[in-house]
A and B are shown apart, each in its own frame.
Chain A
Amino acid sequence: MYKYASPKNFYALAGRLIPWLGAVTLLLFIAGLYLGLYVAPPDYQQGDSYRIMFIHVPSAWMSMFVYMMMAGGGLVGLVWNIKLADMLATASAPIGASLTLSALVTGSLWGRPTWGTYWVWDARLTSELILFFLYMGFIALQAAIDDPRRSARAGAVLALVGVVNIPIIHFSVVWWNTLHQPASIGSLGKIVSPSIYPSMLHPLLIMSVAFFLFYFTVLLIRMRGEILARERHTGWVAEIVRATPEIRGTHP
């Protein structure tokens, strides 16, 4: 197990895993889309618009999960000085930010037929918006620092401060939301209730697993890029570079 913690072995292992992970992810997406868009019946209240749930909810769940992974990776990198953990945090940020954006846009498109407007300061959407800002801060901070070690460590501290704050932010937004929102406008969160039909629950679960595996697939690809960049002075990377055929269009 420990031998995969070295960047060299991880690079090779990730390279072998990516095609399999990608294939399983693709199959799950196809199954989830088929069940969610074709098999599941329309909702008795919302008609077919509720089908946006199958991408909105997994995006929102993953946006939180990826931030936790980012902070976890940052913590491990900070405490035990493990380069791979730093790379995991850095590589997670753009994936998490894009999934947060996806949750925001799909939520807004779901909100239009449900509420009559594209944007309502609903607790879930507002929390996602602030989470998006937190991701932007992390990416901007790491991009502004050239030294890779300092960049990783500064990002880790920021992600950890963010993780401590996320529950507080979420609580404060829910509190604020219940004070200001007229009761007739329900929250998107309430739609996903435990009483959901199995024909709607199954595609939701399958899509969630698909998003989950998708994150890990892209994470491994991104981490391979990070490993090459940060281990470029090592012999094994030089070997890989030498073995790489010339890529068209990169030479002037």
Chain B
Amino acid sequence: MSWRTFFAMGGYAAYVWSAYGFATVVLLWNVVSAVRKRRAVLAMLRELALAGQTPKETGRATLLSE
């Protein structure tokens, strides 16, 4: 099978590849947003620690918003 026929997907290329593309975006979003969220919490806590504040004083909403 040549690459061209592989990508053509028997004429259904538009549907097959956009479906796989969308699923890839969803999966990548999951990984990126999860990693970023943890980093954001760490960065925020670090900033609070540097400012000499005890983290208790801030609400959950400010900490968890990305």
A residues whose Cβ falls under 8 Å from a Cβ of B: 37-38, 42, 47-49, 51-52, 55-56, 59, 94-95, 98-99, 101-102, 105-106, 109-110, 112-113, 146-148, 151, 214, 217-218, 221-222, 224-225, 228-230, 232-233, 237-238, 240-242, 244, 246-247, 250-251
Contacts and interface: CB of A to CB of B under 8 A. Distances in A.
Interface in B8-40: 9-12, 15-16, 18-20, 22-23, 26-27, 29-31, 33-35, 37-40
A48 B10 contact: yes
A106 B24 CA distance: 11
Given A225-B37, A242-B49, A250-B47, A233 B22 contact: no
Nearest to A219: B34
B6 to A, nearest CB: 7
Nearest to A147: B60
A146 B16 contact: no
Nearest to B55: A232
A48 B42 contact: no
Interface in B34-56: 34-35, 37-43, 45-47, 49, 54-56
B60 A225 contact: no
Contacts of B41: 225, 228-229, 232
A233 B60 CA distance: 12
A127 to B, nearest CB: 19
Which DSSP category, helix, strand, loop or mixed, fits chain B's interface? helix
B19 A228 contact: no
Given A105-B22, A218-B30, A51 B16 contact: yes
A112 B15 contact: yes
Given A109-B18, A247-B42, A101 B26 contact: yes
Contacts of B56: 232-233
A161 B35 CA distance: 31
B46 A241 contact: yes
Contacts of B11: 47-48
B61 to A, nearest CB: 5
29 contacts: A47-B11, A48-B9, A48-B16, A49-B9, A51-B9, A98-B29, A98-B30, A102-B26, A105-B19, A106-B22, A110-B15, A146-B60, A148-B60, A218-B30, A221-B31, A222-B37, A225-B34, A225-B40, A228-B41, A232-B41, A232-B55, A232-B63, A237-B45, A241-B49, A242-B49, A244-B42, A244-B46, A247-B43, A250-B40
Nearest to B31: A218
Contacts of A105: 19, 22
